[in-house]
Amino acid sequence: MQTLSADRLKELQLRANDVRQGIIRSLLSAGSGHSAGPLDMSDVFTALYGHLMRHDPAHPDWPDRDRLILSCGHIAPVRYSAMANFGYFPVEELLTLRKFGSRLQGHPERVKLPSVETTSGPLGEGLGQAVGMALGAKMDAKDFRLWVVASDAEHQCGLHWEAVLTAAKFKLDNVTVIVDRNFIQIDGSTEDVMPLEPFAQKYRSFNWEVFECDGNDIASFVETAERARRTVGKPQVIVALTVPGKGVSYMEGDYTWHGKPPNGQQADEALRELSAERESILARG
């Protein structure tokens, strides 16, 4: 795939802004949910749905589609907002987040929404599920890709590392893991709670191809992902360095926003900031 043109990059940046605004509105409506992770992964999800993944909202069960596995299910608001903004369901449905009877629960449910491949729940499960799908794809000579989004803190789970070993053993080059390396979890910094560094080196020692990039720079992430999926004979991991709460100044870098929503006044401020950022994007040459 060709690198992004200036016009296409601008289009994706605007869409990422829409995704962030959808996150804020849905969290306000729900009165509960996670803020920091969904906001910092908006650029990644926009790049996946808008440029990198092979998918079709009109045919969500297309057998040859790429599969997106959300291992860290608590950042579901970003997946929902991205799906809505790329045509899977009406944007207005985002306001039903976490409500009784809604398709948009606190963690995605496989049977509720089109193209949601797994029900996300306990952290650390996503890669194991993807490895099974990737092995099946190899057996059936299918060329779809497994994109796995994982949090950094869930690398504190042993199950994840068992799947890392398995993916390397079977040379699953149809698996790309994207790690939201925002350095936070609900109780503070990952490096205080349970240190993960040297993070990239751990994956290299498990015989993975390792890439690192700015996860809040769409052009950088797309270029990195395109290089990753050209890898032959090894699974790949992209360590996407992100700023928790990206796009909302009072949330950025503050771990206390990991697991709480904005109130009405805070949401208004967030939407004002995001609207101003949208105008700034539009004004760029």
**Stretch 177-189: mean pLDDT:** 96
In the chain, what's the furthest Cα-to-Cα distance?
Answer: 53
How far apart (Å, rounded) are the C-alpha atoms in residues 155 and 157? 5
Two structure tokens written together for 16: 């990422």
CA 7 to chain centre: 23
Residues spanned by the domain of 169: 6-283
How far apart (Å, rounded) are the C-alpha atoms in residues 46 and 119? 21
Band (pLDDT 50/70/90 cuts) for residue 50 is: very high
List phi, psi (to 5°) of 281.
-65, -45
Band (pLDDT 50/70/90 cuts) for residue 1 is: very low
- Is 254 part of any domain? yes
How far apart (Å, rounded) are the C-alpha atoms in residues 177 and 180? 10
Band (pLDDT 50/70/90 cuts) for residue 285 is: low
Q: What is the pLDDT of residues 192-248, one digit of tens each?
A: 999 999 999 999 999 999 999 999 999 999 999 999 999 999 999 999 999 999 999
- Is 279 part of any domain? yes
Tally of domains within the chain: 1
- Is 11 part of any domain? yes
Band (pLDDT 50/70/90 cuts) for residue 119 is: very high
CATH number, domain containing residue 162: 3.40.50.970
- Is 92 part of any domain? yes
- Is 218 part of any domain? yes
How much is the pLDDT for 122?
Answer: 85
Two structure tokens written together for 120: 């996300």
pTM of this structure: 0.97
- Is 1 part of any domain? no
- Is 192 part of any domain? yes
> H/E/C letters for each residue in 236-251?
EEEEEECCCCCCCCCC
SS3 of residue 4 by DSSP:
coil
- Is 199 part of any domain? yes
